[in-house]
Structure 1
Amino acid sequence: MGRLVLLGLLAALALSARAATNCPPHLSDLTVCEGAAKKGQCPAGYMYQEKLLGCSLCSGCVAYKGFSATCLPASTTPEQSQYSIVMKSGLALVNYTDCGPGLNCTDGRCQLADSTTPCLQALHDYLTASPPKTYWYRPECLPDGTYAPVQCQDRTTSGVCFCVTSDGTRIFGRDLHTNRHLMTCACSRKFWEMTAADRKDITLHCEPNGNYEPLQCDKDVCFCVNSTTAELYGGTVSREQWTGLPCYDPKHFPGSYNRLCESMNRASRKVATLLVSHGIHESSNFSAKCDPDGSYYPTYCSAKDQSCKCRDRAGNNIGNYYVDSSHADANSMNCQCARDHNDYDAIAYSLRNVACDTNGNYKPEQCGQDQCYCVDSWGTPSSLPVTTNIDGVGALTRCCLKCLRKNTLDCSDKTKYEKYCTEGLPTWLQ
């Protein structure tokens, strides 16, 4: 099929993507679409879309205008200018002139629709916040309106990039902003999807930045992955043949593929299954939760002594962090601070002065040098700072912080500090 036929086909697809439900008769005999995309092939800024014409002929990479981009209402836009097509690396990229999912063209700009997406709403809030939320990061949204896998703080030299789910929840995987171009978070996303699907036997191995490690095994199949592009290569083999893969490195795998936590997890599931077969319900004593890199999960709760503690990647206890397993606080224990203070990577080192709580989490309120501010569960600032040495007010400005624990201060007289609450009063005081 020649390029003109291809562009004509994809032009028809682009033009009729939303309205048509059947393939045009003159295209019904075309079974090959040169330049059409497969899932995972679309470059940044484009999303994969199946059955562009309501049929199974072609799938492609499409892009729409993003939030705040200039636009013209569809009713005033000539039909022939509603799209454009460019060829890049053998792919036909379809660019629409109308606004993307979750957006409407209003007053010449792509603005939030009544039913928008969480990412687009967050981007709108970021751009319109007053006063500016300097501690927020600017969300990066995919063309379909969901969160991009990699998000970054805006400080290009000292900031951190991290992995998130499609709804913006932060998950395993982080790196310095200077290494952003190397991050895909593909492994971290896949691990999260499997966990959400209640998979108990996950053995994918993610790098610290959320990318795939070069050699992967899932169930009975092993394969090689390009860590930067997340593309498979070298074919697939059974677990028994995994050392024959081109990405196998005996220095990285001195023994079996499974790491200690994964081996313990597999053994514990076998024990639990055996107990259930004898009428004994599975106990939390027989569980070994692992992180996406195959190491031990930061928190560990024991039914034997009814305690939850923090542990390092090798499974050793960290410090004296402790929560009674029957207490409600056990559900929110993540030991992120304990882990960061125990590790030696660049990001962990940058958080060495952010204080830990008694349960190993980051202490929600951080104070130092006559200022206090809130941090999230990863130790990242989540509020503007307040000054605590104002004459006649002193530490009462802490009442402005949403993270201040109740009964820490007497915040009943709002007239003393309210004017210093640049972000307004926290909801628990309103």
Structure 2
Amino acid sequence: MKGVFILCVLFYSFLMYEQTCDNILVTDFSPQNCVDKQTEDLSYYYWIDDTQNCLPACKEYSSAGPGRTNCPCPPAYACEDRCSGTVANSLITCTTNDDCPTRSKCVKMCVADIDTCMAYHANTDDFRYNKFTAQKFKPSCTVDGQWESKQCKGGVSGRCFCYDGKGNRLFGEANYLESKDMTCACSRQKADMLAAGRSYVAFHCDSMGNFEELQCDSGLCWCVEPKTGDLTSPVVPEKAMPKLPCYKISEVGTQYLRQCDSALYARTKILATLENHGVKYASLGSLLCDGDGAYGPYNISAGIAYCTWRDGSKIGTWQSDTSVDISTLNCNCARDYQMYQHLLSCEGTGNYKSLQSVIMSGSTVYYCMDTDGFAISDISETRIDNCTDYY
């Protein structure tokens, strides 16, 4: 019966679309189907669009050596200039043949790309013994190698979070058992618009990263379906916001912007005005807001980043000097402590300590933890030297 179905689909595709395959959804086949085909003899498979048959398929892929010279590359791989001949040579980057060992040439090769979601699943030799081989969690990926918006950790007793396409955590979370309607559509759309060059996006997301029913941006307002962001009303000028069916004065008040994103919007407008007058390097400090307009995880004042709660107040004494790489600061441990009063160890910055310890049966044991507070290694009776070996 399954074979008959596939033949019917192929015949229909040929007659109606002349084998172009545009907009044809044939099955629920996914990259994970190909990952699951991995064998003990290290045969790897990746997902492809079979444009001849208009069906998705798995293709076997060599993990190293000459078999990797078939750019363009599948998901989880990037095309780079490497030396040919052996596995050892393929680890050498090059620009000309002179950069390679004798009898080796500089060629285009597909190498595992650490910037894609599928790199965590591909599990090639390049990734087997480092942090991209997840022990406790592997992200859900889209067909093109991006991270799915919603990712869950810790099983049924865990939590789900929102992420952008490259795996950076966004605003929005929920306990796993309460995450059925969580899509992260609002958080992802805001992130995509900012990444595309917008200096400010006024969308308001709810605690799960979904859209709030009332949305305003660039002087216009409208109502949306929370899980998708689809329009459910006309688009009106912001002055007519109270006329919209989703407007509730008890929830919104008299203006759309909230305390933090109102201040952030004002700073954005001031910087734009200064730039129009030739001032290119003006600084008004740093202000982070959550996706719903509340204050973000930290605020910077006089060169010090302080972990902050949603009302803008400082959380404990967690802080860090901004001369250190600020891109690693998330204050997740400090914020989780504010909510749950957990007993886990935080860095002085407010991030989770990567190495955690606990006393069991009178002895101290150790395990590694990720930036969201979830274990990424098994418990060890000896101190773990390098938690970056785990994802």
| TM score, norm. by length of structure 1 | 0.63
Name the aligned partner's letter for residue 313 of structure 1.
Answer: R
SS in 1 for 2:357: strand
Checking the alignment, whether the CA contact within 8 Å between 1:268 and 1:288 is kept in structure 2 is no
Cα distance change on mapping 1:339 and 1:198 into 2, 3 Å: farther
- Find the structure with the greater CA-based Rg: 1
Counterparts of 1:13-162 in structure 2, within 5 Å, are 14-15=13-14, 53=20, 59-63=23-27, 64=29, 66-68=33-35, 96=55, 98-99=56-57, 103-104=58-59, 115-117=74-76, 118-125=116-123, 136-153=136-153, 155-156=155-156, 158-162=157-161
Match of 2:328 among 320, 332, 351: 332
Name the aligned partner's letter for residue 104 of structure 1.
Answer: K
Counterparts of 1:326-365 in structure 2, within 5 Å, are 327-342=323-338, 344=339, 349=340, 352-365=342-355
Q: Matched residues in 1 for 2:203 and 2:218: separation? A: 9
What are the ranges of 5 or more consecutive residues in structure 1 without an aligned counterpart?
A: 1-7, 18-22, 25-51, 71-78, 84-95, 107-111, 388-396, 404-422
Checking the alignment, whether the CA contact within 8 Å between 1:153 and 1:159 is kept in structure 2 is yes
- Equivalent residue number for residue 212 of structure 2: 213
Checking the alignment, whether the CA contact within 8 Å between 1:260 and 1:295 is kept in structure 2 is yes
Cα distance change on mapping 1:135 and 1:206 into 2, 3 Å: farther
Deviation of residue 187 (structure 1)? Answer: 0.6
SS in 1 for 2:234: strand
**1:384 and 2:374 are equivalent in the alignment:** no
Name the aligned partner's letter for residue 307 of structure 1.
Answer: I
Deviation of residue 282 (structure 1)? Answer: 4.6
**1:373 and 2:363 are equivalent in the alignment:** no
What are the ranges of 5 or more consecutive residues in structure 2 without an aligned counterpart?
A: 1-6, 38-49, 62-67, 77-115
Q: Matched residues in 1 for 2:303 and 2:149: separation? A: 37
- Equivalent residue number for residue 79 of structure 2: none
Checking the alignment, whether the CA contact within 8 Å between 1:226 and 1:232 is kept in structure 2 is yes
Checking the alignment, whether the CA contact within 8 Å between 1:205 and 1:294 is kept in structure 2 is yes
Q: Matched residues in 1 for 2:214 and 2:331: separation? A: 29
SS in 2 for 1:122: helix
Cα distance change on mapping 1:332 and 1:283 into 2, 3 Å: farther
- Equivalent residue number for residue 175 of structure 1: 174
Checking the alignment, whether the CA contact within 8 Å between 2:207 and 2:292 is kept in structure 1 is yes
**1:310 and 2:307 are equivalent in the alignment:** yes
Let me know the Cα RMSD of the aligned residues: 3.8
| TM score, norm. by length of structure 2 | 0.68
Deviation of residue 276 (structure 1)? Answer: 4.7
Fraction of identical pairs, as percent: 30
Deviation of residue 150 (structure 1)? Answer: 1.5
**1:199 and 2:198 are equivalent in the alignment:** yes
Deviation of residue 363 (structure 1)? Answer: 1.9
Deviation of residue 153 (structure 1)? Answer: 2.2
Name the aligned partner's letter for residue 137 of structure 1.
Answer: F
Identify the structure with bigger relative contact order (alpha carbons < 8 Å, sequence gap 6+).
2
- Equivalent residue number for residue 43 of structure 1: none
Q: Matched residues in 2 for 1:115 and 1:59: separation? A: 20
Deviation of residue 252 (structure 1)? Answer: 0.8
SS in 2 for 1:216: strand
Give a deviation string over 1:176-207, Cα, whole Å, max 9, x none.
11123211111111011122123222111111
